[in-house]
Structure 1
Amino acid sequence: MPTLLRIDSSASGDNSKSRQLANEFVEKWLAKKPEGKVVSRDVTANPLPHFTGETLGALFTPEADRSPEQKAIAAIGDELIEELEAADIVIVSAPMYNFGIPSTLKAYFDYIARAGRTFEYTETGPVGLVNKDAYVFAASGSFLADTPADHQVPHIQTFLGFIGLNVKNTFVAGGQALGEPGEEAFNKAKANIAEAV
């Protein structure tokens, strides 16, 4: 049974354009793979604790030496990484907040980036260990894609590549605060999804 892991991060719920694009992809994917399973991880509805000194201390302490509190902290990342490893395909939907990604999505990225598990250090630099395909769905209030002000899509693509996810396609709906141009961008992104699945 193929498994799709979807990561949603918009605080706008069902009104989220990035989430709506992800919905479109999932609908088309299930139509082609009716036996498929979708696992949803909404990092806004169920936010993760942000990284602190205690978090890093727990992760850098050998497993056998961890206190009960440190074991509980490490278990958060363990669960997320196991969920990621069990998936066959990964999709990430994200809005742009103040030129970047939501802090809830950044927290998720922080927990799944683990040396020796999702990436490893080598003499030639870090190498990702999660060998799966991924798709990205992004929305923003204005048209900032491919400009120096876009710290949203490049951040997501860079991180996913860092842990070994192969970003097959990225669908961007810019201009969502601008009325008709935003509607056109959203509809174009939806049409591109239909062709890509």
Structure 2
Amino acid sequence: MSLFRLDASILPGTSASAEIADIVEARWSAAHPGEPIVRRHLGTDPLPVDAWTQATIAGFTPESDRTPAHQEALALATALADELQAADAVVLAVPLYNYGISQHFKAWVDLVIAGAGPTTPILKDTQTMLATVRGGGYGPGTPREGWDHSTPYLRRVLVDMWQADLTVIERELTLAATTPAMEPLREQAAQLHSQALDAAHDAGRALATK
């Protein structure tokens, strides 16, 4: 058994998504002592910005004509795809940034697709837990309802393309505790925080038993 964990926060020391993922990972580790955990942190160790471009161009270039940059990018894409596909369980911690996914997480997705192929269900039936957090509120009736362009994309890729067995834990209002203008929302934010941590324990137990 093996677990693959990916983090995408640019603030790892205070990451709300990592807090959720830590609980899930701890539950999995307790049930599988000594089993390997492969970690990748895109926030602190981003992928080369031109890798996807080089890998994509390489796919349309005869092997004999590929440059060293093409070959290196293809090798990276293949390694990322293999790393993900080899996992028995997957934990992804992906915050919302600027109403969408961050460029460093998108680069990882694009490279995995380049390495595995666009129609390969690389996570078919793999238990996958996604922790996604949002600084503000995006629910029904809020001023920014519909502004979350990250979570629908993540579901599309993970479920529809990669066919993961997906559990999503969401937490909103993560900035309420430190943003004066959000002070009236702090009690609600605390409740959402507590609910997310409870969900993480439940998801971790479920992931550990699969």
> Residues 130 and 58 from structure 1, CA distance in 2 versus in 1: closer, same or farther, beyond 3 angstroms?
same
Q: Is the 8 A contact 1:3 1:38 kept in 2?
A: yes
Give 2:59's aligned amino acid: L
The answer to whether residue 11 in structure 2 is matched with residue 12 in structure 1 is: yes
What pairs with 1:1-197 in structure 2 (closer than 5 Å)?
Answer: 2-51=1-50, 53-114=53-114, 117-120=116-119, 128-131=121-124, 132-145=126-139, 147-179=145-177, 180=186, 181-196=188-203, 197=205
**CA deviation profile, 1:105-127 (whole Å, cap 9, x unmatched):** 01100100137x3542xxxxxx6
Secondary structure, in 3 states, of the residue corresponding to 1:114? helix
Give 1:134's aligned amino acid: T
Q: CA deviation at 1:64?
A: 4.6
TM-score w.r.t. the length of structure 1 is 0.86
Secondary structure, in 3 states, of the residue corresponding to 1:7? strand
Q: CA deviation at 1:183?
A: 2.5
TM-score w.r.t. the length of structure 2 is 0.81
Cα distance in 2 for partners of 1:62, 1:161 equals 33
Q: Which runs of 5+ in 1 are unaligned?
A: 121-126
Structure with higher helix content = 2
Cα distance in 1 for partners of 2:69, 2:103 equals 24
Q: Is the 8 A contact 1:6 1:38 kept in 2?
A: yes
Secondary structure, in 3 states, of the residue corresponding to 2:38? strand
* Farther-moved stretch of structure 1 (5-14 vs 35-44): 35-44
**CA deviation profile, 1:76-107 (whole Å, cap 9, x unmatched):** 11111111121111111111111111111011
* Farther-moved stretch of structure 1 (75-84 vs 179-188): 179-188
Q: CA deviation at 1:53?
A: 4.5
Give 2:104's aligned amino acid: T
Secondary structure, in 3 states, of the residue corresponding to 1:91? strand
**CA deviation profile, 1:157-176 (whole Å, cap 9, x unmatched):** 11112442424311111001
Cα distance in 1 for partners of 2:37, 2:139 equals 29
Q: Is the 8 A contact 2:90 2:129 kept in 1?
A: yes
Q: CA RMSD in A?
A: 2.0
> Residues 166 and 59 from structure 1, CA distance in 2 versus in 1: closer, same or farther, beyond 3 angstroms?
same
Give 1:87's aligned amino acid: A
Give 1:10's aligned amino acid: S
Q: Which runs of 4+ in 1 moved over 4 A?
A: none
Give 2:31's aligned amino acid: K
Q: CA deviation at 1:75?
A: 1.2
Cα distance in 2 for partners of 1:23, 1:4 equals 12
Structure with higher strand content = 1
Cα distance in 2 for partners of 1:92, 1:110 equals 16
**CA deviation profile, 1:172-195 (whole Å, cap 9, x unmatched):** 110011233223212211101212
> Residues 63 and 184 from structure 1, CA distance in 2 versus in 1: closer, same or farther, beyond 3 angstroms?
farther
Q: Is the 8 A contact 2:56 2:114 kept in 1?
A: no
